[in-house]
C-alpha cells in the first residue's frame, strides 16, 4: 500500500507478514481470537476493584485494567493509589486468573509496576515520552501503547518503533480517540486507524471506546463497530457503581451493561469469522 509517509522498519508489516501475537498468561492478542480488557478507570479501594474485577471476569474479560498512577489534567484531582493500587491489582488477578494492565507514567516507576502487572500501559499523554518508551522497550514486558490524542498514524508507529528498537516486540497498539473540533463526544474515535494500522504494521490493534466517546450509552455501538472494523481487542471501563466513580464515571459501563455487551460482541465477531476469547 502507498502511504504519504515511510512506515518504520521494525513495526512494518513487511518484516512480519503473518502478524505479531502477544501472549499474556495464555491469552493471545493479535491472532484470530478477540480479547476483551475491562475494569475500572482507577483502582479506588479493595471493594470497588474486587467487585468490578470479579464481574468483568465472569462476563468474559480476559485482562483486567485499573489505574494506580493516574495522569489527571488537574493537580487537584485524585492521582491514584500508587503502589497500594498495584498490590490490589495483583491480589485480585491471582484470584480471577486474569492478566493485569496498568499505566506507567515515569521511567522511575517501571521496575515497580513491572513487579505487579503483566502489561505496561503507556498512555496518550506519554505517547511521545521517549525516555519512557525506551525504558519500556528494555523491560521486556508487553506494552499497551495508546495513540496520543493528536498523534498521526505516522507518529504513532514511530513511537512504537522506539519500543521495538530496544528489542521489545510485544507491543499492542490502542486507538482511543483523537482530538478534533467536535465537542459532543469527549474525543473522536478514529476507527479507520484500525484497518490502517493492521495494514501497515504487524502489531495487534485494539480500541478503547470508553475514552473514544466519553459517553457510557455510546460505548456499546462503538465497541461493536470496532470489532466489525477488524480490531483485535477492546479495552473498556467498567465500574461497579459508575455514578460514584472517582474518575471517568460518565464513560464507565455497569457490570450488567458490560455483560449484555459481551453477548452482542460475540455475534459481531462471529459475523466476521472471528470469536471473542
113 by DSSP, 3-state: which?
Answer: helix
Q: Site size for a copy of itself, by CB under 8 A?
A: 70
Of residues 57 and 226, the one with the C-beta less far from a copy of itself = 226
Half-sphere exposure of 82 (CA within 13 A, CB side): 4
Q: Report yes or no: 66 and 90 within 8 Å, Cβ to Cβ.
A: no
**How far apart are the C-alpha atoms of 253 and 243, rounded to whole Å?**
10
56 binds a copy of itself (CB under 8 A): no
Of residues 45 and 192, the one with the C-beta less far from a copy of itself = 192
Of residues 42 and 158, the one with the C-beta less far from a copy of itself = 158
Draw the binding track, 170-199, toward a copy of itself (x: CB under 8 A; -: no contact).
--------xxxxxxxx--xxxxx-xxx--x
**How far apart are the C-alpha atoms of 254 and 237, rounded to whole Å?**
9
**How far apart are the C-alpha atoms of 254 and 275, rounded to whole Å?**
23
221 binds a copy of itself (CB under 8 A): yes
Please identify which residue in 33, 71, 82, 259 interacts with a copy of itself, judged by CB under 8 A: 71
Of residues 27 and 124, the one with the C-beta less far from a copy of itself = 124
DSSP 196-244: HHHHHBSS-EEE-HHHHH--GGGHHHHHHHHHHHT-SEEEEEB-SSGGG
Q: What is the dihedral of CA 165, 168, 169, 175, to 10 degrees?
A: -90
Considering only the C-alpha atoms of the chain, give the largest distance between any 2 of them, rounded to a whole number of Å.
Answer: 51
Draw the binding track, 226-245, toward a copy of itself (x: CB under 8 A; -: no contact).
xxxxx---------------
Half-sphere exposure of 96 (CA within 13 A, CB side): 28
Q: How far is the CB of 182 from a copy of itself (least distance, A)?
A: 6
Distances (CA, A) of 29 to 66, 114, 115, 195, 266: 19, 19, 21, 16, 16
DSSP state of 253: B
130 binds a copy of itself (CB under 8 A): yes
Using the contact rule CB under 8 A, the part of the chain among 16-24, 50-58, 66-74, 93-101 near a copy of itself is 66-74
Using the contact rule CB under 8 A, the part of the chain among 18-26, 29-37, 53-61, 103-111 near a copy of itself is 103-111
Q: How far is the CB of 155 from a copy of itself (least distance, A)?
A: 6
Please identify which residue in 213, 238, 242, 276 interacts with a copy of itself, judged by CB under 8 A: 213
154 binds a copy of itself (CB under 8 A): yes
Contacting residues toward a copy of itself, per CB under 8 A: 1, 3-5, 8, 71-76, 105-109, 125-126, 128-132, 148-150, 152-155, 158, 161-162, 165, 178-185, 188-192, 194-196, 199, 212-213, 217-218, 221-222, 224-230, 264, 267-268, 270-272
Amino acid at each position: 500500500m502507498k502511504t504519504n509517509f515511510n512506515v518504520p522498519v521494525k513495526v512494518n508489516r513487511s518484516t512480519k507478514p503473518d502478524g505479531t501475537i502477544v501472549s499474556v498468561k495464555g491469552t493471545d492478542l493479535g491472532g484470530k481470537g478477540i480479547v476483551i480488557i475491562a475494569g475500572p478507570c482507577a483502582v479506588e479501594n479493595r471493594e470497588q476493584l474486587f467487585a468490578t474485577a470479579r464481574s468483568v471476569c465472569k462476563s468474559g474479560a480476559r485482562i483486567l485494567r485499573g489505574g494506580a498512577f493516574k495522569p489527571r489534567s488537574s493537580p487537584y484531582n485524585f492521582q491514584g493509589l500508587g503502589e497500594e493500587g498495584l498490590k490490589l491489582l495483583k491480589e485480585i488477578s491471582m484470584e480471577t486468573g486474569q492478566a493485569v494492565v496498568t499505566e506507567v507514567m515515569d521511567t522511575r516507576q517501571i521496575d515497580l509496576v513491572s513487579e505487579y502487572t503483566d502489561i505496561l500501559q503507556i498512555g496518550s499523554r506519554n505517547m511521545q515520552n521517549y525516555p519512557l518508551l525506551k525504558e519500556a522497550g528494555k523491560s521486556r514486558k508487553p506494552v499497551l501503547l495508546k495513540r496520543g490524542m493528536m498523534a498521526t498514524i505516522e507518529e504513532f508507529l514511530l513511537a512504537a518503533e522506539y519500543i521495538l528498537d530496544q528489542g521489545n516486540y510485544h507491543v499492542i497498539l490502542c486507538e482511543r480517540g483523537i482530538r478534533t473540533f467536535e465537542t459532543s463526544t469527549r474525543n473522536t474515535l478514529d476507527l479507520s486507524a484500525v484497518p490502517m494500522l493492521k495494514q501497515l504494521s504487524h502489531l495487534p490493534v485494539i480500541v478503547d471506546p470508553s475514552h473514544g466517546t466519553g459517553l457510557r450509552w455510546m460505548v456499546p455501538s462503538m465497541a461493536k463497530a470496532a470489532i466489525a472494523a477488524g480490531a483485535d481487542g477492546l479495552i473498556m471501563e467498567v465500574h461497579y457503581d459508575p455514578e460514584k466513580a472517582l474518575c471517568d464515571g460518565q464513560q464507565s459501563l455497569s457490570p450488567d451493561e458490560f455483560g449484555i455487551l459481551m453477548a452482542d460482541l460475540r455475534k459481531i465477531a462471529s459475523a466476521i469469522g472471528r470469536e471473542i476469547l
